[in-house]
Amino acid sequence: MTVDTDALTATFAALADPTRRAILARLTRGEATVGQLAEPFDVSLPAISKHVKVLQKAGLIEQTRRAQWRSCRLRPEPLRDLVTWMTQYRDFLGDSFDRLDEYLTDLQKGDRS
């Protein structure tokens, strides 16, 4: 599977902020309005709206409109793409950690070859 690197960049940029990660975590429990998303934070509603826009631009959330309410909900596809991209490095990282573990074990035994 090929991952769109521009979309991946937008996803990483959106996830770089802890407030946005907390918003996504909240949305794993279900839809919420921007006001509901703002409740746990000590920031203004416009600041939360800006975070929501970044998440929306990255494709991580979508907003639906019902009467005067706008609900946000999580879109998992960009996160799946991120996992797909990261999976290609799993074997490399596993091998690297295995080699490091062997090296440290050898150091502890006094074998520094």
Average pLDDT of the chain is 89
Q: Is the model more confident about 36 or about 87? A: 36
Which of these, 74, 70, 64, 85, lies nearest to 25 by C-alpha position?
Answer: 74
Mean per-residue pLDDT for 101-109?
86
Hey, what CATH topology would domain 7-84 get?
A: Arc Repressor Mutant, subunit A (1.10.10)
Mean per-residue pLDDT for 21-30?
96
Whole-number percent of the chain with pLDDT over 70: 94
Contacts of 22 (CB under 8 A, 6+ apart): 40, 41
Does 104 have pLDDT greater than 90? no
User: Tell me, what's the pLDDT at 35?
Assistant: 93
Does 4 have pLDDT greater than 80? no
Supply the DSSP symbol for 1. Answer: -
Say if CB 19 and CB 51 are below 8 A apart.
Answer: yes
DSSP output for 25-83: HHHTT--EEHHHHHTTSSS-HHHHHHHHHHHHHTTSEEEEEETTEEEEEE--HHHHHHH
pLDDT digits (tens, 9 = 90+) for 53-103: 999 999 999 999 887 888 999 999 999 999 888 888 877 777 777 788 888
User: Tell me, what's the pLDDT at 101?
Assistant: 83
User: Tell me, what's the pLDDT at 88?
Assistant: 82
Which of these, 2, 77, 72, lies nearest to 34 by C-alpha position?
Answer: 72
Say if CB 33 and CB 70 are below 8 A apart.
Answer: yes
User: Tell me, what's the pLDDT at 3?
Assistant: 61
